[in-house]
Amino acid sequence: MSEITDFGLVILIVAGILALAVFSNRLSERIPIPAPAVFLLAAAAAAHFWPRLGRQLSILDVERVAVVALILILFDGGMRVGWRRFRAAAVPISVLGVVGTFATAGLIALAGRYLFDFSWIGAGILGAALAPTDPAVMFSVLGKREVAGRTGTILEGESGVNDPVGIALMLGMLEFATHADSTFWVVVREFAVEMSVGLAVGVAGAWLVLQLLRRVRLANPALYPLRSLAAAGLIYGVAAVAHGSGFLAVFVAGILIGDADYPWREDVERFHTSLASLAEVVVFVALGLTVNRVGLGPVWTDAILIALFLAFVARPVAIALLLAPLKLNRGERLFVMWSGLKGAVPILLAAFALLEGVGGAERIYAIVFVVVAFSVIFQGGSVPFAARKLGVPMRLVHRGDA
């Protein structure tokens, strides 16, 4: 039957991607380019030579894939940080994650408006899309190495916090852009509601999940990771339905669950780490397959200039003053400034803009593709070198044994 053959091809392609994703960590150890970047470029090349692949995936599909991926990435990221580490660096994480994200978005918006001829709304949307950083890309870049001490905690915590902040900012900007009678107050209101509801659901959800993990025993140990996965989905869903940030909710829940004692904890952590790594690869494949839907040719020059502005001006300037009160040496400060890697969130936010039909969204989506590719390939590839040169301590870890 033709249907069986066609669907068999789909399964073959998907299974091949999964197999490559499993071995991507070995790839990162052998070449300086992060594994997600390899998948991004490979998917873009495949879509170029076989356009049918790209046509099978809509922007709505990309948005949904990115949402699921971010739930997995942020829940795992929260568990990696844990409450003890977060509490020791809560102030810098919160300040960088909130104030730093707004400052970065504002500087990109100014550049977009005055240097790249965006409208104010388009510039604001571009800034919101490119402000958040990505924890999963950082883990892929480092491979079996981990930034030791407070610097690593700040980078991981900031990446987890600024993702929900950037998403809430984007939702407010889209509400402002698509309603003629709205004022900028809608951005402030949307942000406040998203953050407060997401925080409340995350704390309450973590408490309920811990009670469940500790008091309800399961007959098969293999079910414990699946139960925590279902819990993450429920926490996200409750927060989203309540008009809050589901992404903040799952990150907060992950932090509060991360240090807790419960049965089969190591198996649960390994399961979520594996899923988060796979999710990051899937998002990059999805982005690469859909790049032909927007023209890269007209935006290459602007996109590279924006990527350079973001890496060398916007992020360093935005967070330099925020880092001043911290007890970090000069090398650690520079390393935090340089390590603002982009990943799944800009993809999701650019997809939001396309789905809402905002003017100039195609240009924004194309620019995001180039900026993310630049970030993971050139910035990401330079992170281990930068750590060595700046004297930032790193240690070898075996994440599968964590």
Domain harbouring 63, CATH code? 1.20.1530.20
| Tally of domains in the chain | 1
DSSP state letter for 327: -
* Distance between CA atoms of residues 87 and 73, nearest Å: 20
**Nearest-angstrom CA–CA distance, 1 and 184:** 57
Tens of pLDDT, residue by residue over 370-397, are 998 889 888 888 888 888 888 887 766 6
- What is the amino acid identity at position 92? P
pLDDT of residue 267: 86
Instruction: Work out the number of other CB atoms within 10 angstroms of the CB of residue 279.
Output: 23
Report whether pLDDT(328) > 90.
Answer: no
Partners of 147 in beta bridges = 394
Mean pLDDT is highest, among 26-35, 47-56, 283-292, for: 283-292
Interhelix angle 149-178/120-130, rounded to 10 degrees, is: 150
Domain of 18, in residue numbers: 2-25+34-401
- Binned at pLDDT 50, 70 and 90, residue 307 comes out as very high
Can you tell me which residue has the tokens 């809509």? Answer: 58
pLDDT digits (tens, 9 = 90+) for 245-303: 999 999 999 999 988 888 888 888 888 888 887 888 888 888 788 777 777 778 889 99
CA-CA-CA-CA dihedral for 51, 55, 56, 62, to nearest 10: 110
Nearest CA among 375, 381, 303 for reference residue 345: 375
Residue 310 has pLDDT above 50, yes or no: yes
Q: Is pLDDT at 9 greater than 70 in this prediction?
A: no
pLDDT of residue 145: 63
Q: What pLDDT digit, counting tens, does each position of 125-166 carry?
A: 999 999 998 766 766 666 556 676 678 788 888 888 888 898
Which amino acid appears at position 273 of this protein? T
Q: What is the pLDDT of residues 63-81, one digit of tens each?
A: 888 889 889 988 998 888 8
Mean pLDDT of the chain: 83
- Element (H or E) spanning 74, and its range? helix 59-88
Confidence of residue 399 (pLDDT cuts 50, 70, 90): very low
Q: Band the pLDDT of 103: cuts 50, 70, 90.
A: very high
Specify the range with the lowest mean pLDDT, choosing from 103-117, 149-163, 312-326. 149-163
**pLDDT for residue 402 is more than 60:** no
What pLDDT is recorded for position 400?
A: 44
* Percentage of the chain lying above the pLDDT 70 cut: 86
Query: What are the structure tokens assigned to 94, written together?
Result: 């919160």
Whole-number pLDDT of residue 111:
95
